Structure 1
């Protein structure tokens, strides 16, 4: 486990107590049953913002606390335990990182304080197909007057439906698949020509498909250099991938602990099922996988904080390992609970659905295994 400093320990403890008091799994169930359009409880999100969580990675000059990525990972891990839905990963990590890494002072001044205060929710509009492939950008950005005109579509934009700011990858030159020619733009969520279609996801979270029908933006909307956006995009995505891995870790640990508690009380054939060696072996496998997953997730977050050159490989290792582990633990949770685990009355299905949605977000296990292998020279 990572050695935490005093601030990080306090942040984690505050997150733990808030989640237990204000946002247990019953709160997620209530949000889901209410059919909340945004896929999260806005009152809960406002409380998180008031506690400063939306500004954890935002520089102090722009209204944040700059506590770093391990710190936000600790918060997300606690939120993951009770499946608390929030735009923290998309906005406070995704959009905030893109601005911090590539934004001009004017862009940072305009948007970062609003993101840090939770006044604006940001989202990354990156993918255009069914699978994560950030380099396959086809959405066109053409020069128009002193600015640009954006035409194309983005799919599966996490928190895109309610986002007030979209960080959009567009192509100013080259062909889909080229890393050169990718530019990033800051597009207000209510820009003329934007058509958002809300998606109903298995895990009841917020996402949207977004069509750009000749959306006009000024020159000041360009984030970084024209045609040179890939580097900032990749670094931003790695931060979002590490963040969602931390949330997955929390959910997987809770799924395991809930299952372990059940093995200790469920009686079958006159004895507690946890006494059966076959189930003990399966529990031991989950425990060791979770310990390893924690190590790689924390290593990735610490590498980002240290601005280490091996961030890409550590992030891909963490996302792939965490995907496999959460997949396994959520399956076992349903199976070991037996019939009740298959019902909507039990929470097991929530963890299973969340696992599947998280696995596909910002790159699946196969995407990250492939990326890791390429980085290693295979």
Structure 2
């Protein structure tokens, strides 16, 4: 199998790489993170102007018509730059949900704006008690007149503080943790009864918890079929996992690059510490982990848009396990090889390490996905 990028895919990756190198140096990232918005509005607009927010959408909706490999090319470079913009939430998750389950009018209303970078979306699948089980939903949506009334809490919506549209899961029937009975709703974040509590995350982004108190929505706010959103959530979460794996690879590559440069310049006993054999062995271990992670990221990208199946589930679970474990290993080794400077706020490595640790925990950590993978093997046998 040929894993080389096509000419068009390589041009896409080069475009993102040039944009990140030119517009997103580390000092700027610190200032973006400290700002009220938490990222660069100008950089987000550039992503839209260059068509990068349109990558996974059909051409008839103003998109690029790309798939998992094209998304991987974009996410790897965004990971290399530690970019803070809500690309994953808006383009991959939000846009993916609407593209899969939305009505024709919803697609026409929202997907074109998402593809143009004019609409930011935050997705609320998690709740305070749910941890990694996205079927564990206590938020309720009850029919009320010509629409629904929503009550509940959603946790850790990255970019939710500035989103133009919220997409949340809510239970229209069944008990907590049932796979059936889940529905998806589009909510105006400025609607009466919507309260957002904003906070910084450990890796420099901004997130928020959303409380819904008697929030009234019309019937056309329902995305997809009532009570049948479980499959949509699982499928789109799989696409997001593949995108996260690609982002992690970019962050790992930069972490190893920074560590290697440090070993070449830091001297002890009159010689660069990179000449010490034991440190060379640790760099080899880091590089081996990176290659494993890169291979699994490529594999996950190739199944991200495939039809749902146990094989797709197994590949995505395996990829998230390997990439999460490798990312955490590389982060820890890079910090140790740098010594005290590796934890300095003004030095970029500490921020790469934090992002890699958070990617491991986002949408399920390595232990969670190992258990999920094992359960799928039991089903297959």
Q: What secondary structure does 1:254 align onto?
A: helix
Moved more, 306-315 or 71-80: 306-315
Partner in structure 1 of residue 32 of structure 2: 31
Q: What secondary structure does 1:216 align onto?
A: strand
Q: Please give the alpha-carbon distance, in whole angstroms, between the structure 2 residues aligned to 1:60 and 1:317.
A: 32
Partner in structure 2 of residue 240 of structure 1: 240
Partner in structure 1 of residue 12 of structure 2: 11
Structure 2, gaps ≥5 residues long: none
Q: Please give the alpha-carbon distance, in whole angstroms, between the structure 2 residues aligned to 1:308 and 1:154.
A: 26
Q: Please give the alpha-carbon distance, in whole angstroms, between the structure 2 residues aligned to 1:62 and 1:186.
A: 19
Q: Please give the alpha-carbon distance, in whole angstroms, between the structure 2 residues aligned to 1:25 and 1:140.
A: 42
Asked if the contact 1:53–1:72 (Cα under 8 Å) also holds between the matched residues in 2, the reply is no
How far is 1:189 from its partner?
Answer: 2.2
Q: Do residues 198 (structure 1) and 185 (structure 2) align?
A: no
Q: Please give the alpha-carbon distance, in whole angstroms, between the structure 2 residues aligned to 1:133 and 1:199.
A: 23
Q: What secondary structure does 1:19 align onto?
A: helix
Cα deviations by residue, 1:63-106 (Å, 9 ceiling, x for unpaired): 21111121121111111112111111110101011011111111
> Alpha carbon RMSD of aligned pairs, Å?
1.4
Query: Number of aligned pairs?
Result: 376
Partner in structure 1 of residue 293 of structure 2: 293
Asked if the contact 1:16–1:78 (Cα under 8 Å) also holds between the matched residues in 2, the reply is yes
How far is 1:305 from its partner?
Answer: 3.6
Equivalences for 1:190-339 in 2 at 5 Å?
A: 190-307=190-307, 309=309, 310-339=311-340
How far is 1:265 from its partner?
Answer: 2.1
Partner in structure 2 of residue 94 of structure 1: 93
Asked if the contact 1:153–1:210 (Cα under 8 Å) also holds between the matched residues in 2, the reply is yes
Partner in structure 1 of residue 376 of structure 2: 375
Q: Please give the alpha-carbon distance, in whole angstroms, between the structure 1 residues aligned to 2:46 and 2:352.
A: 24
Q: What secondary structure does 2:142 align onto?
A: strand
How far is 1:160 from its partner?
Answer: 1.1
Q: Please give the alpha-carbon distance, in whole angstroms, between the structure 2 residues aligned to 1:167 and 1:370.
A: 28
Partner in structure 2 of residue 48 of structure 1: 47
Asked if the contact 2:235–2:308 (Cα under 8 Å) also holds between the matched residues in 1, the reply is no
Q: Please give the alpha-carbon distance, in whole angstroms, between the structure 2 residues aligned to 1:304 and 1:81.
A: 21
Structure 1, gaps ≥5 residues long: none
Cα deviations by residue, 1:333-376 (Å, 9 ceiling, x for unpaired): 22111122222222121112212222221111122112111122
Partner in structure 2 of residue 353 of structure 1: 354
Asked if the contact 1:316–1:369 (Cα under 8 Å) also holds between the matched residues in 2, the reply is yes
